Chain A
Amino acid sequence: MRRAVITSTATVAGVILLLSLKPHDVGTGSGVISSGDPGAPAPTATSAPAADPAPPATSAPAAGGASRSVTGDAANTRYGAVQVRVTLDGRRIAKIEVIRYPSHDRRDQEINSFALPQLGQEAIAAQSAHIDAVSGATYTSDGYTRSLQSALDQAGL
């Protein structure tokens, strides 16, 4: 199995999530936060009920045939579950959605909704940055990395 993409995408992207999350008792937020190439074909955003178990990989045939989306496993962090869905255009990552993320109070949700789209944008941009690792990691972003890795594994990248 090739695991080539994760290093130049998620490792960088994941670690840069700078949430001011405190280790309090967190619930699991739901909803879709999207990021990515605005011009890329994007599946309709849907809410994922927080209580659902991690959904299996889903392939969404899209216009053009080469685009598909894969949902990663929910990765548990000490702040809650993080789960991403990746839309691939051929072998290129066109879009990364964070479909589950830790949230507790309003402030955390605001921070998440601000930071996570940037995170996805970094993941895409970082494909051309060729970075092997990042110093300065976070727990939640590690969850993002793991969920993204599992999505890419399922996609066979």
Chain B
Amino acid sequence: MAAGPSAQRATLRHAEHVMGTVFSFTVRDPTAATGPALRRIVQRLHRIDEVFSTYRPTSDISRLGRGELTLAQCDPDVAEVLESCREVAIETDGWFTDHPGGRLDPSGWVKGWAVEEASRHLRAAGSTWHSVGGGGDVQTCGGPWRIGIADPARPGGLAAVVTGHDLAVATSGVAERGAHILDPHTDRPVTGMLSVTLIGRCLARTDAWTTAAFAMGSARALDWAEQLPGTEALAVLEDGTRCWTSGFPQHLAPAPPAATGPAQWSLPGTG
């Protein structure tokens, strides 16, 4: 553990390298129960990685995909996750899939779900004020928190800063890992948007919906996000243009004077 319980309610932080990325924990209200809870959470994240990693030939998911295991022989989480993937596929008219490129791969659900699970465990341990991030997707509890949204069109810049309580913020895009999201209808890499960010309440769904929104492309994605309950979206197009849903600006953090929308934000000193 990189951080232990603090006697003075100082913020407790921990970073864990797991699932091919870094999970970071910020607990603003740590108690004696927080450290043990974090240890259990970290163990669970590594277990989720063992079960769901498509990079591990011995994971349940890899073996299920090759027909070496039946669903009943897999970790019980697998059936739950695949059921959730089916629900999201229906909610997104097939723009989300757990078979990208034809191969069993529920990663589009698993990472956000793992982050949300971690937050749920922290709440069960008594925390009402924490943030959990995994691979650039964030689940917060309590608040207020300030979350920057990386600007894919401007290296080193932020497209927006949002603030609030109990937010889930997820971003899908081409900037971080190249064109890695496939259009489930054509199996070709998606183009047209640099990134899309969704703000909701629960990260598992918000993250999976973000992946679907990115696959849809900007015009369809924003129309679709507009009608999602409790969800707002910001898209950055290939030419750097920003588009957002009608309710998105309500999440914006107080910005420098004269700022009227996400496009106006810049960090102090970066011009």
Which residues of A line the B interface, CB within 8 A? 1-4, 6-7, 11-12, 15-18, 20, 22-23, 78, 114-115, 118-119, 121-122, 124-126, 128-139, 142, 145-146, 149
Binds A, one of B14-22, B42-50, B238-246: B14-22
| Chain A contacts for B11, CB-based, 8 A | 3-4, 7
B15 touching A137, Cβ below 8 Å: no
Number of interface residues of B (CB under 8 A): 46
Query: How many Cβ-Cβ contacts under 8 Å join chain A to chain B?
Result: 133
Q: Which residue among A2, A17, A133, A135 has the maximum number of chain B CB atoms within 10 Å of its CB?
A: A135
A133 touching B138, Cβ below 8 Å: yes
A135 touching B267, Cβ below 8 Å: no
Assess whether B102 is interfacial by the CB under 8 Å rule. no
B155 touching A18, Cβ below 8 Å: yes
Q: Could you list 22 examples of A-B contacts with CB < 8 Å?
A: A12-B158, A15-B150, A16-B155, A17-B155, A18-B155, A20-B175, A78-B20, A114-B155, A118-B155, A119-B156, A128-B268, A131-B146, A132-B26, A133-B131, A133-B145, A135-B150, A135-B169, A136-B136, A136-B152, A136-B175, A137-B133, A142-B17
* Interchain CB contact (< 8 A) of A135 among B3, B138, B270: B138
Known contacts A3-B11, A114-B155; A130 and B138 CB within 8 A of each other: no
Known contacts A18-B152, A114-B155; A135 and B175 CB within 8 A of each other: no
* Interchain CB contact (< 8 A) of A12 among B2, B21, B148, B173: B148
A131 touching B148, Cβ below 8 Å: yes
* Interchain CB contact (< 8 A) of B137 among A121, A135, A145: A135
A114: nearest chain-B partner, CB-CB: B155
B150: nearest chain-A partner, CB-CB: A136
Q: Which residue among B15, B21, B148, B178 has the maximum number of chain A CB atoms within 10 Å of its CB?
A: B148
| Chain B contacts for A128, CB-based, 8 A | 268-269
* Interchain CB contact (< 8 A) of A142 among B22, B149, B155: B22
B21 touching A137, Cβ below 8 Å: yes
Which residues of B line the A interface, CB within 8 A? 2-3, 10-11, 13, 15, 17, 20-22, 24, 26, 131, 133, 135-138, 140, 145-152, 155-158, 161, 169-171, 173, 175-178, 195, 197, 267-270
Cβ distance B227 to chain A, nearest Cβ, rounded Å = 22
| Chain A contacts for B136, CB-based, 8 A | 15, 134-138
Known contacts A3-B13, A135-B171; A129 and B161 CB within 8 A of each other: yes
B138 touching A131, Cβ below 8 Å: no
| Chain B contacts for A78, CB-based, 8 A | 20
A135 touching B161, Cβ below 8 Å: no
| Chain A contacts for B15, CB-based, 8 A | 145-146, 149
A132 touching B176, Cβ below 8 Å: no
The CA-CA distance from A142 to B2 in the complex, in Å, is 15
Cβ distance A150 to chain B, nearest Cβ, rounded Å = 9
| Chain B contacts for A129, CB-based, 8 A | 146, 148, 161, 267-268
The CA-CA distance from A53 to B26 in the complex, in Å, is 30
B267: nearest chain-A partner, CB-CB: A125
B197 touching A135, Cβ below 8 Å: yes
B145 touching A18, Cβ below 8 Å: no
Cβ distance A106 to chain B, nearest Cβ, rounded Å = 18
Cβ distance B142 to chain A, nearest Cβ, rounded Å = 12
Cβ distance A48 to chain B, nearest Cβ, rounded Å = 22
| Chain A contacts for B21, CB-based, 8 A | 137, 139, 142
Cβ distance B29 to chain A, nearest Cβ, rounded Å = 14
Known contacts A3-B11, A125-B268; A132 and B150 CB within 8 A of each other: no
A132 touching B267, Cβ below 8 Å: no
* Interchain CB contact (< 8 A) of B147 among A22, A118, A124, A134: A134
Known contacts A2-B10, A128-B268; A137 and B178 CB within 8 A of each other: no
| Chain A contacts for B146, CB-based, 8 A | 129-132
